[in-house]
Structures are given as C-alpha cells and as structure tokens.
Structure 1
Amino acid sequence: MSQAVEIGNTAIAMSPHDEFVAKIDYTVDRAQRALLALQKPEGYWHAPLEANAEMNAEFIIFNHFMDTVDVETEARLKKYLLDTQSPDGSWALYQGGEGYLSTTIESYFALKLTGMRAGDEPLAAARRWILSKGGIVNCGTLARFYLASMGQITWDATAALPVEISLFPNWFPFNIYELGSWARGTLMGLMMLQAARPEKKIDYQRGVLELYIEPPHFTKFKQPRGKKLLSLRSALNLADKALRFYDRHKIKSLRARALRHTEEWLLDHQEANGSWGGIEPCYLLSAMALKANGYRNDHPVLKRAIEASQELIWHFGDYDLYMPCVSVNWDTGLAARALLDSGLPGDHPAMKQTSQWLIDHQIFKKGDWSVKRPALEPGGWAFEFYNDCYPDVDDSAVILSIMADSKADDAAARERAIRTGANWVMGMQSKDGGFAAFDADNDSTWLNHLPLADVEAVTDPSCPDLTGRVLEMMGAVGYRTEHPVAKRAMEWLKKNQSPAGGWWGRWGINYIYGTFSALSGLRAIGVDINEPWIKRAVAWLKSKQNPDGGWGESPLSDKDPAWHGRGTSTASQTAWALIALIAGEEGISENAMHGAQWLSERQNDEDAWDERESTGNGFPNHFYLRYHMYPHYFPLMALGRFRKRLAETAPH
C-alpha cells in the first residue's frame, strides 16, 4: 500500500519499499554529517576508550607512589570509581558483569588513598564482597605489584621475575620476544620494579589491612594453581619456586648487568611523548620502575613520563576517565572507512585531509616486530599517537583500505604509503598462514600458564579477525585469491572456522566480530561466496539474530559456548552482523533487511546510536573495552554498504 509523504508542499505517494529506502538514506545522511562534524581540524578522529575501574584505581596508586598527586584530578578520578561500583559492592569488568576481585581490591585501595575511611558505606560494601571471595590473598598478578609497591603485601607475594630473565637469548624457549608486545613491555617494568622492592610509606589508615582474613604475617600468598595436579601451570609454579631461590642467592655481577640491560631497554623504548608501549600498564609501571631504581621526578626521562601519563585522562562533566590507551588511529581509520562506505567521495576535502594526516603518521622505524622479521622493511601504523615500537597489523590494514579508496594532495606520498604499508602488513604473516596484531609467530601459548600470566593472554597468536582484515586490505589495494599470502590466509581461516560456522574474534566480542571480519575479507579478496563453508558462516549468523532484528553477544561468550552469538542487541554488533551478511550473500536477505531496520529505527538525537555495552576485547575473560565511537561509525558503515547493495539489486 502506498503512503503519501510531503516533500516541500508537494504530496508524493511512496511504496513501502521506497519509504524504507528513504528512511535508510535519511539515517545515513544524518550519521555522515554528524561524523564529519567530529573530525579534528588536523584530519583525525579521537574518542574515549573505556575499560573498567581498574584504570582509574591504578592511576591513583601511581600518583601516590610517584608523589605526583593533584587533588582536583584525584577527586574526579574518585567520582568515576564511586559511580561505577556495583550494588553488591564490587567493581565489574564490564557493565552488568559480575564483580572482579583484583579490580575491586585496587579500587578499594585507591579510594582509601583518596582519604575515604573503611567505615564509609561504599568501602564497607566493597570489603564485605572482597572478604567473601577470600580477601586480599586471592588478588591477581598485576594488582600484587601495585600493592607491594605501596607496602600493603610482601614482595614475596608477587610472581618471581628476576631481572636476569631479560638476558635470556632469543633462541631460548622463554625470552621476552616470545611474549606479546603488551606483556613484554609490562614484564620489563615489573622485573625492574621487583628488583628494587620499593615500599612507599603511607598512613596505616590509608592501607588495606582489613582485607586480610588472617594476620599479614600468617598469610600465605600462592600463585594460581592448575586445574589438575599434573598440569603445565603446576609445573611452572615449581619453576617459580626455583626463580625465588635464585633471587635469594643471586649473582651480584649478573644482577647488575641485567639491571643495566633492562634500564637501557626501557630508555630505548620510551616514545617521543615520554610514554611506553602505548598502553596504561607500560606507561605507569615503567615510570615506577625507574623511580624505584633511583630516578628522580625532575630527571628528563621521568619528567616526560609523568607528563605522558596525563594523556590517558579523558575529562567528562564531573569526573575523569583514565583510559587503557589512546585509540586515535583506530578511530580515524574506521570513521573514514564508514564515510567512504556511506558514499563520501574519496576526493572529498575531509578524506584528503585524513589521508595526509595518516601519511604523516606512518612509521618507518624498526620496532620489536623486527626481531622475528629482521629483513622486513617498516611501514605500518600504530593504534595511538605515539607508539613507534609497536605498529599493529589491524590498524595498518584498515588504514591502507581507506588510503586505497581516497585521495591525497601528495599523490606520490600516498602511493608510497600504500606500497610500503601493504608490504609490511603482508610480511607480518605468521608461518601458520594467519595474522596477529603486533608480532609474527608469537604463538608460544604454553606461556599463558606462567604464574605471571593469570590473564592467560601473554602471547599474540594468529586470529580470525586480523586475518580477515588483512584479506580485506589486500582486496582494496588490488590483490586477489591467487596471491600466495592470500592463499595461505584463506586456508588458515578455513581451518580455524568453528564447527558451528562462525569465527572467534580476538579483539571484539566475539563470534559476531570474528565472523564479520572473516567474511568481509573473504569477499574482498574474491572468494566464491557460494562455497559451502561461506554459506555455513552466513547460516550461523542468521541463526543468532534476535527477535527484535538486531544482534548482540555478551562477554560471557568467552567462557561459555552457550553464549556464542547471544546477547542483548547492540548497535555495533548489529552493524557487524549486517556487514557480514552483505559480504556473505549476493542479494539482500530478510535477516539483512531486519538488521538495517533495527539500526534505522534507533538513531539517537545526536545522529549516532546509544551503546553502553563493552563490545571490544582486551584479554578474553579478563579485560573488556568500550569504544565510545563504535556506535557511530560501525552503524554508518553497515548502512552505507546496505544502501549500496539496495541500489545494486534494485530493478532497472
């Protein structure tokens, strides 16, 4: 049945199909204008990246350790902690999740450092919850180092990390380059910190003695145990005891040499802005380690480090959020991709400006990745403003895909950026055929059973979302299925497809994210989407659509297969599913129509979409991320691709 709509003063009859198309156009155009308005004058996009209360808590602890407390900032950090406490007194890893012990202990301690008392109701509720989980004795690895540095637990309670580990040669089964970049940078700071064993003196009223069930001198801190007596973790716990024995009987000359080596490594890895590794643990722990080993706050290295630590603060109305890192290149690449996919021409001034900004931020320095790929020429991009040591494949692949579809005032520089960038990305393919984030062949997953690795994610193996992203980039710059890198990547994806049909997502939640990335890449590189394995992925995705037409997936899917593809519908996850269906099918299915309708009906007054859920992944089961711009550019990207498919399939 046709309906009449007014355009100007003229009533025009529109069919339901035409009305739907007009609604999609209207939604896309609003979102596109709003996203363009958020572009910075320099050409980039930058939005908050939120993890959990642990970030604010650790920054408060850091400032007390470093003697850099700013009362006003601390009050704003405290406000966020109090606002995010759960009704049961705990702090969770993500909105609506269960309490997480280490985060809750660190948050409790941070609030005490701000001057709150144990009898204050927020702390009383937190303490009851902590004690019900066994108390401070059960806190995690990283929390123990912060607590030990402030004299709240003994240094013997921390995982044994003799600084001599830094001297292990690269051919040794356990050396720092077998760890993922985030674990490597954190480890170097932790080892140097533990070697000094600092204990910052604080008033006992600001301490956490009340979190002990037994008196501290009777409390035995133990490392996490394996599920079985004869397990790899249990065996590595014996190695932990051996390392403790060595630490008590260390060779002084070897210790001095290792300390010099670790210090030099940290100094060599300090970025231009004074930070380390691009992420919060490295920012804070490296500075703490140097201070513990004699550096003063007015030393140029520490002065720059302290200044850099401020860059992770995001100011909101009446509170401050401390971010795990700065996601500027990621936000810029995906925002630009969404604009291009929604019809903005590649020679639009905004796209030319973005391209030039990205060209200027390409990294031509050899970082840690070159240990495994010494002959490979650099050319990637980092996630952050400053992280030359750790460009990553994910950001680089997204950026190259938009560089291929946009223009720049300096055409020669753009061509060089694409050529060198694509060469670097493809050169980072692991021996198994897949791609990881920061390193190649970083797949010694047995290291996830080390006592220091209680988050079980200290390595950086190949994953489906990265492998799909690289295939999508290769398609954008002109490669097809016959290229050797593409062939090996496609075989890897085929081999690592789940029995149900989807793919796991390492850096997003979870199977919806992995499946979206894999199908997008396979389509872009030219795989026949009528092949059975592609159809199986599409069928799985359709089976997970919610009755309301959207898609969602809970972080619970990391631990429970029953939650794979299941959860409350969210804007970003619905967008991923819609993009995946467009990639995996020739026409437009009813599922895709319902997904597009879900998005078009939920655009908010800011011309974006509301989303409080964490849909990004840091460490599965242990650390989740909420990208504040995800519910803007991913829905725009999805509806832009959907609109294009509508036009392609419309009868002529």
Structure 2
Amino acid sequence: MTNGIIQDEIERIVQQLKLDQLPNGSWDYPFETGVITDAYMIILLRSLEWNDEELIRSLVARIKSLQEGNGAWKLFHDEPEGSLSLTIDAYYGLLFSGYSKINEPHMIKAQKFIIKHGGLKEAKLYTKLLLAMTGQYKWPSFFPLPPEFMLLPKSFPINFYDISVFGRANLAPLIILASNKYHHDQSGPSLSHLYITRSGQDDWEEYRSKDWNTFFASIQRGIKSLVGVPARLKTMGIEKAKNYTLDRIETDGTMLNYFSSTFYMVFALLSLGYPRDHAIIQAAVDGLKSMACTIDGHVHIQYTTANVWNTALISHALFKAGEPEESQTLMNSVHYLLTQQHNKYGDWMYHNDKAKPGGWGFSHDNTINPDVDDTTASLKSTIPYIPLDPYCMEVWQNGIQWVISMQNPDGGWPAFERELNNPILHLIPMEGAEFILLDPSTPDLTGRTLEFLGNHTHSIKPRKKLQRGIDWLIDNQEKDGSWYGRWGICYIYGTWAAVIGMIAAGISPLHPSVQKAVQWLKDIQNDDGGWGESCLSDTRKTYVPLNESTLTHTSWALETLIAASDEPTKEIEEGIHFLIREGRRNNWTTAYPKGQGMASFFYIHYHSYRHVFPLMTLLSYKENFGEI
C-alpha cells in the first residue's frame, strides 16, 4: 500500500471532520441507542400531558421504521429473533402515543412476538419497573433496597456509596418510587392483553431467590442498628434519596445528563406530590428534549450527548494528521475542551477525598461526573498548546493528577470512581448487576490510561503506577490472549486498549502476553482483511464473530498489530486495504453498535467512530512504517 493512497484517505476523512465541526468547536455526532429512549420519551410526554405532537409523531415514525418483519425490535443486527423487553417498550410507546392502534398490522405482529416469548412476565427488570410506575404491573411486595438503605453509614459492610454513580443515579429515584409503590394515574393504554396469565401481574421472580433474600436480610440488620423510630427512618431515607437526586441536577435540567435517571426523577417527584408543571419537572423534560438529534430523517432522543468525547478524540486525531496549532479548527476545539474541565467536586471524592477536581465528563452539560477516559482523551488534545499558554499547563497538571489519583488499589483504573467493587454486590442475582452496581478496574480503562501516561507524560511518568497497571492487565488476560472491553464491543476493543497501553508503558512487543494477543487477532481476521465482533460477546463472555467486518473493529485490531510490529505484516496490509477500500461504506455494519452501557440492554452506535478510528489507524501505519 503506497503512502499516496493512504494520504488521500487521510485527507478525505480530515476534510469530512472539519466540515462537521460546530461553531462552538465541538462535534455533536449522535450517541445512538436504539429506540428505548424514544419510546420512554413518548410515555413521559403523554403521562405529563405535554402534547408535543410534532416530536411525538417524529419519534413514532422512527420506532416504526426500525421494527423487524417478525414484529420485534432488536438491540443489534444479529440478535436472534429480537429483544422481548425492547419490543414491549417500543410497543408501549407506540400505543401510548395514540398514533398506533392496537389492531394495526405492525402492532398485531408485535403483540404476537411478545406473547410468543412469555408476555410481560418475562420482561427484564427495567421494563417491569417502567410498567409498574405507569400502572401496568404491580410493584413487588418488597423492594430489596428500602429507603432506609440511604441512611446506612460508611462503616456498614455495604452502603449507598458502594454502588456506582450510574447505579446511584437510577436507584435513588427508584427507591422513592418503589417505597411509595407509585403508579401514575392517567388514561393511557392498557397492556392487559399482553399477560399470558393474570397471576403474572405481581410476579417478580427477580426478588424471590435465596441470594436476594440474604442480601435484603443483611440490609435489614443494618437498618435495625440505626437509631430512630422506624416510620421516621423511612421518611428520612426518602428525603435523603430525594435530596441526592435534586443535588445532581445539571445546568440542562437533567440528572447527571442521563436519560434514564432523569426519567425516573420526574416520576419520583410526581410520587412525592410535585405538580407536573413544577419548574424542576419542566426543566428536566426540556433537558431531555435538548438531547434530540436527527438520524436518517427521524428524530432520536439520545441517552446523553457525546460532544466532549467526540471532540477530544477528533481534536487529537486532527493534530496527529498535521493540522497546525494555529488552525481555527484546532483552536476552537481545544477552547471548547478547556471550558469543559471540571472545577467542582462530585461523587468521585467519596472514595478519593485527597484529590482535587480536574477531570472531564462525557457530555456537554456534565459538570460533576467526570470519567477517566474522557479526561485522558481531553488532555491529549491540549498537548500542542501547553508550551504556548500557562493556563493550558495548569489544566494539564490538574487533569493528570486527577487521573493518577483514580488508580485502584489493584493497579487498574475504573471509569468513574475508585474502589467500587464491593464483593457483597457480586452476590446479587440481578441481571446486569456488574454493569449497574459496580465500577471495577477494566482492561479498556486501564489500557487507555497506560497509553496516555506512557506516551504523553514523559516528564512525570509514574513508573511504579505504570508497572502496577501492566501487572493488572497481565493478570486479567483471557486464556485465548484477548482482554474483555467493558465500554466497547468487546474483546477486540479490550485487546486493543490493553496492548497499546502496555507497550506505551514500556513492555516489549515481544512479551508473551502481547504476542498471545497478536496471534489471537490474526486468528480471527476475516477473509476480506477486516475484523468484526458481535454484541453477543458481552453476554456470552467470550468472543463471538460478527461474520462481517466493520471499519471500527478493523481499526482497533490494526492499531494493535501495528504497535506490536516492526514491519507491515500480511495481516496489517490486508487490513489497511480493507480500510481504504471500504472507507465510504454506509451499511448495517457502519451503524452496528461499537459501544455498550449494559449488556443485553443498552448498546451504543457512536457516529464519530467510523471517521476517527480509521484516521488514527492510518496515521499509526504511516508513523510506524514510513514510506512503503
């Protein structure tokens, strides 16, 4: 592959990225998450009697456009048959809208799929919670996290702050709702026709296991040790859950910029007697509406925005591609990122009280919920300006110190908070508990942090911390040579992050751990030269091929091989050919999710990835191998 052909593709991508930049310097490529948020938004608007018909009709059109021929909705292209819970959510949203009737062909197909797969009783936990708060399903006789749980002290074996920030954001309002057994009184549709047996209405098998009862009993023991009248303790717990929720409302009116937590917050406030036209509720709904974007001609409500993440990745890539420091494109993007650094303390300080603020969050209006990945990515983008601006140096130092402070005692890095891997929470028999409740060290966060510290912090490189990170990765490598990626799909993503991180931190490309990973990637390369991985990997906890190549997976695999090679191998050449040949493709593999928030529930199509990761890979090829 000649450098001329590669350079042409680099310039094509660069021009596209520059064209898509917003006037404020950021990139607002969509953070697409299927139809779940679209359906929930319809239900929220109708429940509040906010009859924004134009928005509701647009959301209905998008949901209908993504229905499968068998009546189901899928979380991802190769999901077998479809997702029961997502189909219930989508069907409920369409029915609630008033624009789809129960006897229309597309609705009848959905009904048949739901009944065939067990009806409402077989829905996943979060769908049952939606149904309960809107009067379609009875609340369980007991909820395993009662309001008094909010009052348990740090000295108790488990307390509210042992749960991840994502889990807390959703659980605080849910604790209020479950305690009040709230269901919104409205004249919306009935889903009674989706019960196979009437007895299923109060069936919460999730909370009937021995492990759940053991967990609940331990919580009750802690509650009994609290001083106070039981009824008063319950009231205090609800008040604390309410205050936790309200204290984390961001400038856009949402709770921590998450759709789900904001949705639950609105219903929790309604359950406490807030009128539907209360200023907090109005601001929350307006904040959710501000997350709307347009995809393929349809309006989509994003789960959150990805402006900071997009901008950090793209800004660094453009600089690597030769964009000069004085270009308006780079100056605008870095100025945007500088305004997004956090200067407030957030929940992260609960387990990291000696650190000062200095991180970045994922979304535009995020001011108190930083994460390690966005911080290292944003810091990379400031590098060209550190010698030119003392303020950039201050930003840089604050950011690095925050990142270093976030290392876990085991040597790895988490996403949002240190030391959130309480072994008691591992015992909870809750589907997705590891994604909702925990924030442990992960190979992808650890690898990407090592890459940043190893390649970009030469003057303050913390050798012992790097070695501990390397050791953690080696200890957590899969038997086949791969690593699991928590926030991407899935083993290709984790392997990419781990290998580039270890090499940047000083490990030899010839190290057995690296070579085992290299061989694994070579073994799973597709005949067309690319790589592709199914979202099924993250539920089955083993690599599952997609049987098609994607631009993003190919980029991750190639960057790994390039970092571990001193010359362009046959596998690398074939992969580069794929990127050049398919760079303009726009089919289902382009829209296939490359990220995940929670396995089997929440997957993400980052619209920026098809541009930024091929660009970075082509640049790495040129940098490592020079003129070919």
TM-score, length basis structure 2: 0.93
- 1:275 is matched with 254
Contact 1:180-1:460 at 8 Å conserved across structures? yes
Inter-CA distance 386–398: structure 2 relative to 1 (3 Å threshold): same
1:638 to 608, 611, 617: 617
User: What amino acid maps onto 1:283 in structure 2?
Assistant: T
Whether 1:552 aligns to 2:552 is no
1:384 to 339, 347, 363: 363
1:287-436 equivalence runs, <5 A: 287-316=266-295, 318-404=297-383, 406-407=384-385, 411-436=389-414
Whether 1:196 aligns to 2:180 is yes
1:69-218 equivalence runs, <5 A: 69-98=51-80, 99-115=82-98, 116-156=100-140, 159-203=143-187, 206-215=189-198
Report how far residue 409 of structure 1 moved.
9.7
Contact 2:31-2:604 at 8 Å conserved across structures? yes
Aligned partners of 1:27, 1:41: CA distance in 2, in Å? 25
For residues 413-447 of structure 1, what are the alpha-carbon distances to aligned partners after superposition, in whole Å with 9 as ceiling and x for unaligned? 11111111010011000111000100111112542
Report how far residue 319 of structure 1 moved.
2.1
1:439 to 406, 411, 417: 417
Contact 1:510-1:565 at 8 Å conserved across structures? no
Aligned partners of 1:331, 1:158: CA distance in 2, in Å? 42
Report how far residue 584 of structure 1 moved.
1.5
User: What amino acid maps onto 1:166 in structure 2?
Assistant: M
Moved more, 509-518 or 172-181: 172-181
User: What amino acid maps onto 2:266 in structure 1?
Assistant: A
Q: Count how many residue pairs are aligned between Structure 1 and Structure 2.
A: 621
Inter-CA distance 232–200: structure 2 relative to 1 (3 Å threshold): closer
Report how far residue 296 of structure 1 moved.
2.4
Contact 2:140-2:202 at 8 Å conserved across structures? no
Report how far residue 449 of structure 1 moved.
4.8
Report how far residue 78 of structure 1 moved.
0.9
2:505 to 506, 525, 528: 525
For residues 297-334 of structure 1, what are the alpha-carbon distances to aligned partners after superposition, in whole Å with 9 as ceiling and x for unaligned? 44332232121111221134642112111111111111
Aligned partners of 1:61, 1:435: CA distance in 2, in Å? 38
User: What amino acid maps onto 2:517 in structure 1?
Assistant: A
Inter-CA distance 22–403: structure 2 relative to 1 (3 Å threshold): same
User: What amino acid maps onto 2:198 in structure 1?
Assistant: P
TM-score, length basis structure 1: 0.89
Aligned partners of 2:68, 2:523: CA distance in 1, in Å? 33
Return 5+ residue gaps in structure 2 as ranges.
none
SS of residue matched to 2:300? strand
SS of residue matched to 2:140? helix
1:578 to 558, 568, 572: 558
SS of residue matched to 2:531? coil
SS of residue matched to 1:552? strand
User: What amino acid maps onto 2:477 in structure 1?
Assistant: Q
SS of residue matched to 1:624? strand
Inter-CA distance 292–67: structure 2 relative to 1 (3 Å threshold): farther
2:484 to 504, 511, 517: 504
Report how far residue 67 of structure 1 moved.
2.6
Inter-CA distance 244–136: structure 2 relative to 1 (3 Å threshold): farther
RMSD: 2.7
SS of residue matched to 1:568? strand
Contact 1:394-1:466 at 8 Å conserved across structures? yes
Moved more, 422-431 or 151-160: 151-160
SS of residue matched to 2:364? coil
1:232-247 equivalence runs, <5 A: 232-233=211-212, 235-236=214-215
Moved more, 571-580 or 78-87: 78-87
For residues 227-252 of structure 1, what are the alpha-carbon distances to aligned partners after superposition, in whole Å with 9 as ceiling and x for unaligned? xx8x745744777999999xxxx932
User: What amino acid maps onto 2:487 in structure 1?
Assistant: W
Aligned sequence identity (%): 29
- 2:26 is matched with 44
Report how far residue 561 of structure 1 moved.
5.8
Contact 2:140-2:204 at 8 Å conserved across structures? no
Report how far residue 496 of structure 1 moved.
0.8
Inter-CA distance 87–103: structure 2 relative to 1 (3 Å threshold): same
Moved more, 625-634 or 524-533: 524-533
For residues 558-596 of structure 1, what are the alpha-carbon distances to aligned partners after superposition, in whole Å with 9 as ceiling and x for unaligned? 234663465410001101111111112222211111111
Contact 2:490-2:537 at 8 Å conserved across structures? yes
Inter-CA distance 511–104: structure 2 relative to 1 (3 Å threshold): same
Report how far residue 455 of structure 1 moved.
5.3
Inter-CA distance 558–131: structure 2 relative to 1 (3 Å threshold): same
Aligned partners of 1:456, 1:195: CA distance in 2, in Å? 24
User: What amino acid maps onto 1:399 in structure 2?
Assistant: S
Inter-CA distance 339–539: structure 2 relative to 1 (3 Å threshold): same
User: What amino acid maps onto 2:197 in structure 1?
Assistant: E
Inter-CA distance 325–302: structure 2 relative to 1 (3 Å threshold): same
Aligned partners of 1:609, 1:144: CA distance in 2, in Å? 30
Return 5+ residue gaps in structure 1 as ranges.
1-16
For residues 105-131 of structure 1, what are the alpha-carbon distances to aligned partners after superposition, in whole Å with 9 as ceiling and x for unaligned? 111111111122222122211111111
Aligned partners of 2:222, 2:122: CA distance in 1, in Å? 21
Contact 1:439-1:460 at 8 Å conserved across structures? yes
Aligned partners of 2:481, 2:94: CA distance in 1, in Å? 46
SS of residue matched to 1:437? coil
For residues 340-388 of structure 1, what are the alpha-carbon distances to aligned partners after superposition, in whole Å with 9 as ceiling and x for unaligned? 2323234433222222221111001111010000111110000001222
For residues 132-153 of structure 1, what are the alpha-carbon distances to aligned partners after superposition, in whole Å with 9 as ceiling and x for unaligned? 2211112222222221221111
- 1:6 is matched with none
Aligned partners of 1:244, 1:222: CA distance in 2, in Å? 24
- 1:489 is matched with 469
Inter-CA distance 225–155: structure 2 relative to 1 (3 Å threshold): closer
Aligned partners of 2:541, 2:346: CA distance in 1, in Å? 37
Contact 1:356-1:408 at 8 Å conserved across structures? no
Report how far residue 469 of structure 1 moved.
0.9
Report how far residue 283 of structure 1 moved.
1.8
Contact 1:162-1:243 at 8 Å conserved across structures? no
Moved more, 586-595 or 91-100: 91-100
Aligned partners of 1:261, 1:410: CA distance in 2, in Å? 47
- 2:204 is matched with 222
Aligned partners of 2:553, 2:459: CA distance in 1, in Å? 28
- 1:12 is matched with none
Aligned partners of 1:31, 1:465: CA distance in 2, in Å? 25
Inter-CA distance 561–198: structure 2 relative to 1 (3 Å threshold): closer
